[in-house]
Structure 1
Amino acid sequence: MGQQIQGWRSASGQRLWLSMLIDTMEEISRPELRAVPCDDQLLAALRAQLARPALTHTPYASAYSLRN
C-alpha cells in the first residue's frame, strides 16, 4: 500500500489504479485478514486524517464545475 502511480491521469494509469484498488479490496475482504485486529496507531492516524476539512481547491482540479 502507499504506492505512487506515475501518470495516473492517463488511461493506462487509471486502469492500473483501479486494478490495484480492486486487488486491495479483494485481499482485505478475505476472512483470515478481516479477523486480524487493526493497529491502534493506524486507526488513530486514519481518524485524524478523516477529521481534517476537505480541501476546497486542489492543484490538479479543474476551475470548471459540473454544477454550472
Structure 2
Amino acid sequence: MRPERQHQIWRNETASRLWLSGLIAAMQHAERPEIRRQPVAPEVIVELRAQLALTAPYRASPISTLRH
C-alpha cells in the first residue's frame, strides 16, 4: 500500500472514531435525568436534523457540541 493511501485510511478511521466517541458522549449526557427534563430549543432540533442528514465525513463537529 502506498504511504499516502495508508495515511488517508488512518485519518478516516481516526475521524470516524472521534465522531463516534462524540456521539456516545452526547448520548450519555442526554440520558441523564436532569438533562432529559430540560426543554430543547427548536433551533437545536433544526441543527441536529441538519447534522444527521449529512454523511459522517462531512459533519462539522460531534453532536455533543450542540447547545441545549
- Using the size of structure 1 for normalisation, the TM-score is 0.46
Name the structure, 1 or 2, with higher relative contact order (CA <8 Å, separation 6+): 2
Give the structure with the higher percent helix: 2
